[in-house]
Amino acid sequence: MTEKSHTSIQYEKELHDIKERLLYEGALIEEAIENAMQSLMQRDSDMARSVIDADDRINELDEKIEEKCIRVLALRQPTAKDLRFIATAIKVNGHLERIGDLAVNIARRALDLNEVPPVKPYIDLPRMADITREMVRESLDALVKEDCGLADTVRKKDEEVDNLNEQIFRELLTFMLEDTKTIHRALLITQISKNLERISDHAESIAKMVIYMVTGKNVRHQGSTRNCEQ
């Protein structure tokens, strides 16, 4: 969509800069999720450790973005669409930082699991990770492109992730009931699954913020029936 740009080029740059940084943060987080899963699948503890270290960069970026948003609020007195964008950016930034922390948790669990023999081949977990990575990417795309429809798609995927989480839990439950020696490992795996499910919740929240930003309507606490057409 062709957008009229601000009379002040500097202002335009500042907003563009915040969007760029959010996208970059998103990319770093996608990488973290991917690497955390890989460290589990390949039993690669070094990779797990690198994920944990990389979180510092994400936190730094998070601080920087917040700083820039506050600066725009103070100096530009944004109104209407710009105001909603900044409000959204601040919240999205928070969600991304939390996702980063969850990826670190996954890496830590991977470290633990790599010390012990596997319970069963991982099928559903990587599937969950793929979907959540998609959700993160698409929700940020929706933010930058102001695409309501894309935001709706993200919200639908959350359901799929929830189902997978349930499935994994039920499966592991049977394992634990059959053989109590697997409980420790099974619990670690459920924690990873839970983390992924929470990542997808955060991505869904980002999508809801995008709908608010574009339409000015708050859909955060409505049921999933409300979307950007309404």
Partner 1 sequence: MKNNNSIIETKNINFYYGDFRALIDVTMGFERNKVTALIGPSGCGKSTLLRLLNRMNDLIGRTRVEGEVIFEGKNIYDPGVDPVDIRRRIGMVFQKPNPFPKSIFDNITYGPRLTGIKDKSTLEALVEQSLKQASLWDEAKDILGQSAMMLSGGQQQRLCIARALAMKPEILLMDEPTSALDPISTAKIEELIEELKKDYTIIIVTHNMQQAARISDYTGFFYLGKLIEYNPAEKLFTNPEVSQTEDYITGRFG
Identify which of residues 18 and 29 has a Cβ nearer to partner 1 in the complex.
Answer: 18
Q: How far is the CB of 2 from partner 1 (least distance, A)?
A: 12
Could you give the 3-state DSSP secondary structure of residue 77? coil
Could you give the 3-state DSSP secondary structure of residue 6? coil
Identify which of residues 149 and 216 has a Cβ nearer to partner 1 in the complex.
Answer: 216
75 CB neighbour count, 10 Å cutoff:
11
Q: How far is the CB of 75 from partner 1 (least distance, A)?
A: 12
Binding-site string for partner 1 from residue 73 to residue 102, where x marks contact by CB under 8 A and - marks none: ----xxxxxxxx------------------
Q: How far is the CB of 8 from partner 1 (least distance, A)?
A: 6
d(CA 206, CA 92): 6
Residue type, 215: T
Cα distances (angstroms) measured from residue 177 to each of 110, 117, 183, 187 = 23, 18, 8, 12
d(CA 161, CA 132): 7
What φ, ψ does residue 115 adopt, rounded to 5°? -80, -20
d(CA 54, CA 104): 9
20 CB neighbour count, 10 Å cutoff:
12
Identify which of residues 15 and 104 has a Cβ nearer to partner 1 in the complex.
Answer: 15
Q: How far is the CB of 151 from partner 1 (least distance, A)?
A: 17
Count of residues interacting with partner 1 (CB under 8 A): 15
CB 72 within 8 A of CB 17: no
Identify which of residues 10 and 115 has a Cβ nearer to partner 1 in the complex.
Answer: 10
Q: How far is the CB of 88 from partner 1 (least distance, A)?
A: 13
Tell me which of 2, 7, 10, 225 binds partner 1, using CB under 8 A.
7
Residues 181-220 that bind partner 1 (CB under 8 A): 216
| Axis crossing angle, helix 45-76 with helix 9-41, rounded to the nearest 10 | 160
8 binds partner 1 (CB under 8 A): yes
Q: How far is the CB of 84 from partner 1 (least distance, A)?
A: 7
**Only segment of 3-11, 24-32, 106-114, 182-190 that touches partner 1 (CB under 8 A):** 3-11
Residues that bind partner 1 (CB under 8 A): 4-8, 11, 77-84, 216
